[in-house]
Amino acid sequence: MKNLKKRLQQGETLNGCWLNLGSSLTAEIVGQAGFDWVLIDLEHGAGSEKDALYQLQALAHTSVGTIVRVESAESQRIHRVLDMGAEGIMCPKIKNQDDAQKVVNGLHYPPHGNRGVAKMVRATNFAQNFNQYYEASRDTILGVVQIETKEVLNHLDAVANMDGVDVLFIGPADLSMELGIFGQFDHPRFKEALHKTVNAAKRAGKATGILFFNPDDYKTYHDLGIQLIACGADATFVAEGARNMAKKLNEARSK
């Protein structure tokens, strides 16, 4: 474990990015690049749960912490990737406290949740250290819920105060879409939702996170106190690198 949860609780700002190609090779490349954490995306990414396993294996020898975004709060989706060795779970489209409770239930073993018990899994070194993993899991597994629906904006304090919810992570694309101002991140309605989320997290002693698309926006969000910061993805890095190289070669050919 790379102690993402502890580091956030100590007030660190952690820089990360998305992995959405489903590739263990690009995961390994990104894992060696200098980020604090990466997110393996099973909601919109190209990979399956099996691909997530290969990515987790590829990242194991790097310094990054690993979060997996599951496609729903169904407990099977959550505990399967935890058993594979994920350090945290991100769940999209949270609407209210009931949705957030489903996430928390999937994260933790009884009596704190309903995560199924399996010893012969990668997370426990295939039964070699189940007891240690079980005892430490409450303090090490990171629970991240996404703030990207209009409804959840009316339940932010209830969600933030839940034991097991560690990060309120703003999904700017979906949230701005729901607010009817898609992509307008300077719009007053988006800014109001952003500040409302950050303030609810602060009142509860929890962290806030966000994904943005331009690294020049870093200071804006960092100055608000947002700690779990993501910018870019393996697909973006490959696409931009390929386009830039093709452009340079084409320009050289035309001279």
| Domains, the chain, ordered by start | 4-254 (3.20.20.60)
pLDDT at 54 over 70: yes
- pLDDT tens, position by position, 74-102: 999 999 999 999 999 999 999 999 999 99
pLDDT, position 37: 98
Confidence class for position 16, pLDDT limits 50, 70, 90: very high
Q: Is 112 a catalytic residue?
A: no
Structure tokens at 202: 């602060």
- Residue among 159, 143, 157 nearest 94 (CA): 159
The two counts, helices (H) then strands (E), for the chain are 11, 8
| Mean pLDDT on 100-123 | 96
For 176-199, what is each residue's pLDDT tens digit? 999 999 999 999 999 999 999 999
Of the listed 44, 61, 79, 155, which one is catalytic?
44
**CA dist., res. 77 & res. 67, Å (int):** 13
Mean pLDDT of 161-167: 97
Q: Can you tell me the distance from the alpha carbon of 77 to that of 69, in angstroms, rounded to the nearest whole number?
A: 10
Residue 1 above 80 pLDDT?
A: no
Instruction: Give the pLDDT of residue 68.
Output: 98
Distance between CA atoms of residues 133 and 12, nearest Å:
24
Would the pLDDT of 128 be above 70? yes
- CA–chain centroid gap for 64, Å, is 13
Do 145 and 165 meet the contact criterion of CB atoms below 8 Å apart? yes
Average of per-residue pLDDT values in the chain = 97
- pLDDT tens per residue, range 130-154: 999 999 999 999 999 999 999 999 9
